[in-house]
Structure 1
Amino acid sequence: MWLCCVLLLSLLSAVSGASDSKAITTTLTTKWANTPLLLEASEFLAEESQEKFWDFVEANQNIEGEHDDTDLAYYELIVKKAGALLSSVQLNMLKFALSLRAYSSTVHSLQQIASTEPPPSGCSAFISVHGEKTCDVEKLDSLLKTASERPKPYLFKGDHRYPGSNPDAPVVILYAQMGKSDFQEFHRVLTSKVNEGSATYVLRHYLLVSKVHLSGYGVELAIKSQEYKAKDDTQVQGEQTHRNTLLTHTLLLFSHEFWVV
């Protein structure tokens, strides 16, 4: 009885696996630049509240020395920092969102605004005070003094405005990547200006890196071979007939053994 079962399963496997196929691996890449998980996590927190967003910013001003430069260590650090501000359910939702790169497009949409204000030459982070740009933090005071001579910039719904900013004060927009040393320096100076009541501090993500690889999206491949291959149909039909006959005999034998037992 058991021998027949094993034989039947083996035969079915052989019939179903008669044609070998080659594996095909696909990747889906976005048209926009890659976005760090730290920034994506910040946008997740921004949906919860601006207060949580800025608390997350404060905790991650410069994390370059807080992990060993591996993707896993970087991810675990982000989850740990976010976990201090989220419930266990929210944290699981964040992990899922990061795995899908769900907030990559959100970060990019904010970064796109920077394309209208190209950075000064050689700057990885810069500030814009009513259209005047610099990456030298020492020039901030002089730009604030002359800001009233220029119109205030338009602020978007998704912009992150630092809590307590004076709405009547000049608007200083920081284009930088949170978690980097240059961001930390600008952030420290701008928060002090907000506390003095002399500036409205707005943060916009700014970075230049590679494209994003997405996961969790369905990809359909339509592949057609243009190569003509001659094949002997009679031999294929003969082999298929032999398999069908062998399968029929095995099923009859299995049925007979089942009723006898």
Structure 2
Amino acid sequence: MANDRLRTAMLAMNLTPETLAAKVGVDPKTVERWISSERVPHRGTRYKLTSILKVNEGDLWPSLQGNSRPVPTESELVHLYPSRSAITGAGWEALLSGVKEQMDVLVFSGAFLVEQYNLIPLVRQKAAEGVRFRLLVGDETSPAVIQRAIDENTPGGLEGRIQLMRRYLADVLHLEGVEVRTHGTILYNSLYRFDDQLLVNGHAHGALAGQNPVMHLKRLPDGQMWQHYMRSFERVWSVGVPETA
């Protein structure tokens, strides 16, 4: 069973197995074994790891939490980021490049995906490989978007970013498997689904999206959180207005 918590913590610190191994003083293959299994390192090694990754032992190995109740071997919550901007470029790129079947996005703008992570060429490449894309962006004329811009103290700015994103996405509307819709719903959370991985970017009143915390969830057979947020995606998708080429 892979240790997704450790992998995500490494991505958050922009560390590879090789660079982490050098810092801890072990062989890179040892780090790879930690990632690919639930194997727990010795106490001294765990102390070095948690100091480098700036996490607690229980964040990486729940069985060490000293809980009197049984601790599940897997949790939907892979990692909690204090803000969207705390996710490293390597973290975003790993999620984007790793998509094999489906990517779903619910945002108002999301233009950072194009401008920082080259989303449009990736959509072209992945769509040719059979990946399905469902991309929900805001309707810049809707009351929800206009009010959100006022709350963020950037009136007109968000509307412009949405128009820019819609223009970007117009270049891939003709591709098979790529669907883009606009919506005017209140955006309680931005959602980024990459196959069985889901980033939930909650929104606090008056704060910019990049300043708000992000939960990284992993899809599990009986996982309730994943289903909870994906049901909200489906509800917005059902009322979204399809963009046409």
User: TM-score with structure 2 length normalisation?
Assistant: 0.27
Larger C-alpha radius of gyration, 1 or 2? 1
Of structures 1 and 2, the one with the larger relative CO (CA 8 A, separation 6+) is 1
Higher strand share: 2
Taking structure 1 as the reference length, what is the TM-score of the superposition? 0.26
- In terms of fraction of residues, the more helix-rich structure is 1
